Amino acid sequence: SGSLFHLPPPALELSSSDEVRTLSGSMSPGLKSNPDLHPCKPGQKFRAALLRCRSPTAAAGILSFGNVLNYMDRYTVAGWLSNSSPLSPFSTVFICSFMVAAPIFGYLGDRFNRKVILSCGIFFWSIVTLSSSFIGKEYYWLFVLSRGLVGIGESSYSSISPTIIGDLFTNNSRTTMLSIFYLAIPLGSGLGYILGSSAKVAAGDWHWALRVSPVLGITAGTLILVFVPEPKRGSADQVGGRIKSRTSWFCDMKALAKNRSYVFSSLASAAVSFATGAFGMWIPLYLTRAQMVQKTAEACTKEICSSTDSLIFGAITCVTGLLGVVIGAATTRLCRQKTERADPLVCAVSMLGSAIFICLIFVVAKKSIVGAYVCIFIGETLLFLNWAITADILMFVVIPTRRATAVAFQSFTSHLLGDAGSPYLIGLISDGLQENYTTSTLWRFLSLGYALMLCPFIIVLGGMFFLVTALFFLDDREKAEKQ
Residue-level pLDDT at 302? 56
Residue 47 lies in a domain: no
195 and 301 together in one domain: no
169 and 267 together in one domain: no
Which of the listed residues 227, 255, 286 is the one where a domain comes to its end?
227
Give 231 or 195, the one with higher predicted confidence: 231
- Is residue 265 a contact partner of residue 96, using CB atoms and an 8 Å limit? no
- Please report, rounded to a whole number, the percentage of residues in the chain having pLDDT higher than 90: 20
Residue type for position 95: I
Residue 255 lies in a domain: yes
Residue-level pLDDT at 465? 96
Residue 373 lies in a domain: yes
Give 29 or 258, the one with higher predicted confidence: 258
158 and 259 together in one domain: no
Cα torsion for 138, 130, 201, 319, to the nearest 10°?
140
- Please report, rounded to a whole number, the percentage of residues in the chain having pLDDT higher than 70: 76
* Pairwise CA distance, residues 427 & 443, whole Å: 14
107 and 198 together in one domain: yes
Alpha helix ranges (H) inside 110-139: 114-132
* Pairwise CA distance, residues 434 & 80, whole Å: 25
pLDDT tens digits along 434-456: 876 666 778 888 888 899 999 99
Spatial CB neighbours of 289, under 8 Å, sequence gap ≥ 6 = 441, 444, 445, 448
Count of domains forming the chain: 2
> What is the three-class DSSP state of 434?
coil
116 and 265 together in one domain: no
Q: Is residue 149 over pLDDT 50?
A: yes
175 and 306 together in one domain: no
Per-residue pLDDT band at 471 (split at 50, 70, 90)? very high
268 and 166 together in one domain: no
Residue 46 lies in a domain: no
214 and 320 together in one domain: no
What is the distance, to the nearest Å, from the Cα of residue 53 to the centroid of all Cα atoms in its chain?
A: 22
* Residue ranges making up the domain that contains 126: 54-227
Residue 319 lies in a domain: yes
Per-residue pLDDT band at 2 (split at 50, 70, 90)? very low
Residue 16 lies in a domain: no
Which of the listed residues 227, 254, 288 is the one where a domain comes to its end?
227
Other C-beta atoms lying within 10 Å of the C-beta of residue 347: 30
* Pairwise CA distance, residues 275 & 365, whole Å: 18
143 and 266 together in one domain: no
Residue-level pLDDT at 23? 36
Residue 129 lies in a domain: yes
What is the distance, to the nearest Å, from the Cα of residue 426 to the centroid of all Cα atoms in its chain?
A: 24
Residue type for position 93: V
81 and 218 together in one domain: yes
Which of the listed residues 227, 259, 279 is the one where a domain comes to its end?
227
What is the distance, to the nearest Å, from the Cα of residue 140 to the centroid of all Cα atoms in its chain?
A: 29
Residue 355 lies in a domain: yes
Rounded mean pLDDT of the chain? 79
> What is the three-class DSSP state of 254?
helix
How far the first Cα of the chain sits from its last, in Å, is 51
107 and 223 together in one domain: yes
List the single range of 13-22, 58-67, 207-216 with lowest mean pLDDT: 13-22
Give 12 or 428, the one with higher predicted confidence: 428
Give 124 or 239, the one with higher predicted confidence: 124
Residue-level pLDDT at 298? 65
Residue-level pLDDT at 463? 95
135 and 97 together in one domain: yes
Q: What is the CATH number of the domain that holds 344?
A: 1.20.1250.20
- Average pLDDT on 328-355 reads 92
